[in-house]
Amino acid sequence: DVVLTQTPVSLSVTLGDQASISCRSSQSLEYSDGYTYLEWYLQKPGQSPQLLIYEVSNRFSGVPDRFIGSGSGTDFTLKISRVEPEDLGVYYCFQATHDPNTFGAGTKLELK
């Protein structure tokens, strides 16, 4: 199975700071069709996960432009510029290139 390694495990920030989360895959996530099925989800406390980014860098409808996804192959990053209170929670990367699909272990974004 593909292992997604997220770092850091937790991230303490001050509101308005930039945050950066890494997701490293044990195999390339580029599919034979040329697309890379790497997504980012945020799970706020007590809620279901919500989609932020799909196909590495595409923001889902309604997601603020302070969320920026990047990367290729095996290395991916989610950057949040100017963290706001509603951004707090656990971030997961997810790959759907290989079966079984897998989630990263999560990165908890919290206030300093």
State the residues that interact with another protein by CB under 8 A: 1, 33, 35, 37, 39, 41, 43, 48-51, 54-55, 58, 60, 90, 92, 94, 96, 99-106
Q: How near is the Cβ of 25 to another protein at its closest, in Å?
A: 15
Q: How near is the Cβ of 51 to another protein at its closest, in Å?
A: 5
Q: Which is nearer to another protein, 16 or 62 (CB)?
A: 62
Q: Which is nearer to another protein, 7 or 101 (CB)?
A: 101
For residue 19 the two structure tokens come to: 């945050």
Q: How near is the Cβ of 103 to another protein at its closest, in Å?
A: 4
Q: Which is nearer to another protein, 13 or 51 (CB)?
A: 51
Residue 7: partners with Cβ closer than 8 Å, 6 or more residues away: 21, 22, 24, 107
Three state DSSP letters for 74-102 = CEEEEEECCCCHHHCEEEEEEECCCCCCE
Report how far residue 38's alpha carbon sits from residue 62's, in angstroms, rounded to the nearest whole number: 19
> Do 69 and 55 touch, CB atoms closer than 8 A?
no
Q: Which is nearer to another protein, 5 or 18 (CB)?
A: 5
